[in-house]
Amino acid sequence: MKKILAVLAISIILYSCSSKKDGNMIVEGQIKGLKKGKLYLQKMVDTVLVSVDSVALLGTDTFRLTDNVDSPVLYYLTFDGNTTDKRILFFGEAGTITINDKVELFGFNPEIKGSKNQELLDKYNLVSKKFQSQRLEFIKKDFDAKKANDKDLIQKLEADYQKMVRRRVLYTTNFALSNADTEVAPYIALTEMYDASLQMLDTVNNKLSPRVKESDYGKRFQEYLDNIKANQEK
């Protein structure tokens, strides 16, 4: 009887493992140099980071993970669920996404293919990083000017900084408008257009395609705008 129960238990376990179906998104690739560890595929659900799949690697550096994507959103690929030290952030969407990286530089400059939204986000980030570098340079110059009590220079730096901010806002707005048929548009509007006017935010929202408006980030963006307008009416 015990043998029968043991065989039955093993059969159930094997069936459970073999019956696991792939979701509509497959994330696969190689982490060169990784010989042992556990990779997690994670995403934010409300305000909680949830693991949707994982794989233990032992003696191999290739992996395959999967999830069902109802609407393209950002995912994390992490070691042991640790998003602080080592992580790869990417736009997940239906289809096969390939991620290749090196274990010693994990998350620094991964190669990600197969996600249209990720390609657009990478393109945006190339210019966004330049604005970020300019901002840091302004902070340094402003610190030095204040230390030297150079009031004329302080005033000039403030004027130049505001011009840079306007250029960044215009670039971000135009990028979102140019890609209004993709989920990266409302995502960028939510995370990067914090200096934009309500009129600019409304312009982006009105340009979004009906499909994108119904996406996860599209709905969040609409809710964000509704909250701004509600607060202004108080």
pLDDT tens for the chain, residues 1 to 234: 545 444 444 443 333 333 456 799 999 999 999 888 899 999 999 889 999 999 999 888 999 999 999 999 999 999 875 556 689 999 999 999 999 999 888 998 999 999 999 999 999 999 999 999 999 999 999 999 999 999 999 999 999 999 999 999 999 999 999 999 999 999 999 999 998 999 999 999 999 999 999 999 999 999 999 999 998 877
Q: How far apart are CA 91 and CA 106, in angstroms?
A: 17
Specify if 87 maps to a domain: yes
Q: How many domains, the chain?
A: 2
Question: Quick count: other Cβ atoms within 10 Å of Cβ 5?
Answer: 9
**Same domain, residue pair 125 and 222:** yes
**Same domain, residue pair 104 and 150:** no
**Same domain, residue pair 198 and 136:** yes
E strands of the chain, at which residues?
25-32, 36-45, 48-58, 62-67, 73-79, 82-92, 95-102, 111-113
**Same domain, residue pair 127 and 220:** yes
Q: What SS3 class is residue 96?
A: strand
Residue-number span of the structural domain to which 149 is assigned? 118-233
Q: How far apart are CA 213 and CA 222, in angstroms?
A: 8
Specify if 12 maps to a domain: no
- β-partners of residue 49 are 44
CB contact burial 35-49 (16+ within 10 A = b; e otherwise)? eebebbbbbeeeeee
Considering the entire predicted model, what is its pTM? 0.85
Specify if 186 maps to a domain: yes
